[in-house]
Amino acid sequence: MKIILGEQFRVRDEVEHGTPEQNQDVQEILAAVKRDQDAALMHYTEKHDQVRLQKIKVEQTEIQAAYADVSESFLTAFQLAAENIRAFHEKQKRTSTIEFQENGTILGQIIRPLNRVGLYVPGGTASYPSSLMMNVIPAQVAGVREIAVVTPPATGGKAGIDPYILVAAAELGVTEVYQVGGAQAIAALAYGTESIPSVDKICGPGNAYVALAKRSVYGIVDIDSIAGPTDIAILADETANPAFVAADLLSQAEHDELAAAILVTTSRQLAEAVAKEVNIQLDTLPRRKIAAKSLEDNGAIVLVHSLDEAVQMINNIAPEHLELITDEGFELVGRIENAGAIFVGPYSTEPVGDYFAGPNHILPTYGTARFSSPLNVDDFIKKSSLISYSQAALQKHGKHIVEIAKQEQLEGHARAVQIRLDEQRGK
């Protein structure tokens, strides 16, 4: 990894949301699924995943049969992780509120879960049961009644979903699973097909085609976010273990050639040690080709003069994942304004949050932590305002409402209030 001085570092540009060719492909897929429904899903699954589907929905017998192909050790780990994630998200639950005022007015907010959501779980060449957990559990905690999971079939020309995904769904009580991915899956969730009823909201990360499709169907349905490439920033001082830091940088770099892994440090000694350690560990990493390209294009070790400069840089980066490995980690937390998830201390490695600790790992990427939050229970609820105005309250404040309405030249608004004021005065 290259070591650069703080004043030479530049935050990478905004992610490009697809090439013109990708955008055109996505629009064609969306139109085809809207028009041809299941037939289009099968066509594009064969075209892009090299899998010829006979059916789209996964049968319950297939889900239960998947247990035979999953290790007991994974099942135990999954169950413990799910308990932690559920316990964390239970604390995010909201309740409806109502306020009774002395003049008889009643004001409130009604909290309701969304009725039906579609959750996208990446798949195909890899399996991500952790992403299924992070999507499903907050939706269940919110009280969503219908949860549909879409995920690409495993590659290799044979229909079917990775057994670890199916077992994860079964463990969480999800019964509606479809073996379709990509932009066509997003289209199915938004428009509905013969096999897949439409949903109210789509959540979950995916590739560029998934992101483009989600952006296109927003407004027909709600979406959680448009995910870009993953990233990590580590703020560390001379007390950090260079082997730990190097391992954590590689843990994100192995995701994607577009992933970003950045160390910001006040210690030249640590910077040089981490650069050396990255090369050592990279040599034996199974996904070393991907990680090496990521580090070459988007990785950096940034040397700064002070922790103040480091904090300012982190806030400018607005990382998806931020690790604080310094002598005063918790003292710095209050100064961090922009980060999706903050990991404090040498043993709070990013994978702890990815899989087990409890907070959600679906996080704002590519600098969007400036204005976005991790996926949470609030993403699966809707709110209605409740207003019951009393006669006394309208008598007291009606003239002010009329004044504002007239200023906006909305005479009908003003008259709707005035007719009630006149009635109260006996006119």
Are the folds of 3-13+229-357 and 20-223 the same?
A: yes
pLDDT digits (tens, 9 = 90+) for 235-292: 999 999 999 999 999 999 998 888 999 999 999 999 999 999 999 999 999 999 999 9
Q: What does the DSSP assignment read for 111-132?
A: EEE-SEEEEE---SSS--HHHH
Query: What pLDDT is stored for residue 124 in this prediction?
Result: 64
Where b means 16+ CB within 10 Å and e means fewer, 110-141 reads ebebbebbbbbbbbbeebbbbbbbbbbbbbbb
328 is catalytic: no
Q: How far apart are CA 227 and CA 207, in angstroms?
A: 8
**181 backbone dihedrals φ, ψ, rounded to 5°:** -135, -165
For the chain, percent of residues with pLDDT exceeding 90? 81
Task: State CA 203 to chain mean position distance.
Answer: 7
Q: How far apart are CA 182 and CA 131, in angstroms?
A: 16
pLDDT digits (tens, 9 = 90+) for 10-62: 776 655 567 888 889 999 999 999 999 999 999 999 998 888 888 999 999 99
Confidence check: pLDDT of 402 > 60: yes
For the chain, percent of residues with pLDDT exceeding 70? 96
Query: What pLDDT is stored for residue 156 in this prediction?
Result: 52
- pLDDT-based confidence at residue 223 (cuts at 50, 70, 90): very high
Contact indicator for 386, 109 with CB cutoff of 8 Å: yes
Cα–Cα distances in angstroms (integers) from residue 321 to residues 120, 216, 230, in the given order: 21, 27, 9
pLDDT digits (tens, 9 = 90+) for 302-335: 999 999 999 999 999 999 999 999 988 899 999 9
Selected catalytic residue, list 320, 323, 350, 361: 320
Q: Domain 3-13+229-357: give its CATH architecture.
A: 3-Layer(aba) Sandwich (3.40)
Q: 109: which strand partners?
A: 97, 385
Query: What pLDDT is stored for residue 380 in this prediction?
Result: 97
Q: How far apart are CA 360 and CA 85, in angstroms?
A: 7
Query: What pLDDT is stored for residue 14 in this prediction?
Result: 55
CA angle 276, 354, 176 (to 5 degrees): 145
Selected catalytic residue, list 321, 323, 350, 361: 321
Query: What pLDDT is stored for residue 17 in this prediction?
Result: 64
Q: How far apart are CA 236 and CA 267, in angstroms?
A: 8
321 is catalytic: yes
Task: State CA 18 to chain mean position distance.
Answer: 19
Instruction: Count H helices and E strands in the chain, helices first.
Output: 16, 14
Domain limits, the chain: 3-13+229-357, 20-223, 391-424
Reference 129, options 89, 193, 87, 177; nearest CA is: 177
Contact indicator for 253, 259 with CB cutoff of 8 Å: yes
- pLDDT-based confidence at residue 157 (cuts at 50, 70, 90): very low
Query: What pLDDT is stored for residue 226 in this prediction?
Result: 86
- 9: tokens are 């570092």
pLDDT digits (tens, 9 = 90+) for 2-14: 888 877 787 766 5
Other Cβ atoms closer than 10 A to 322: 27
Reference 40, options 212, 228, 193; nearest CA is: 193
Q: At what angle do helices 268-282 and 242-253 cross, to 10 degrees?
A: 50
Q: How far apart are CA 81 and CA 89, in angstroms?
A: 12
Confidence check: pLDDT of 75 > 70: yes
CA angle 367, 127, 379 (to 5 degrees): 45
Q: How far apart are CA 214 and CA 212, in angstroms?
A: 5
Kindly indicate whether the domain formed by 20-223 is annotated with CATH number 3.40.50.1980.
yes
- pLDDT-based confidence at residue 229 (cuts at 50, 70, 90): confident
Residue 96, Ramachandran bin (φ over 0: left; ψ between -120 and 50: alpha; else beta): beta
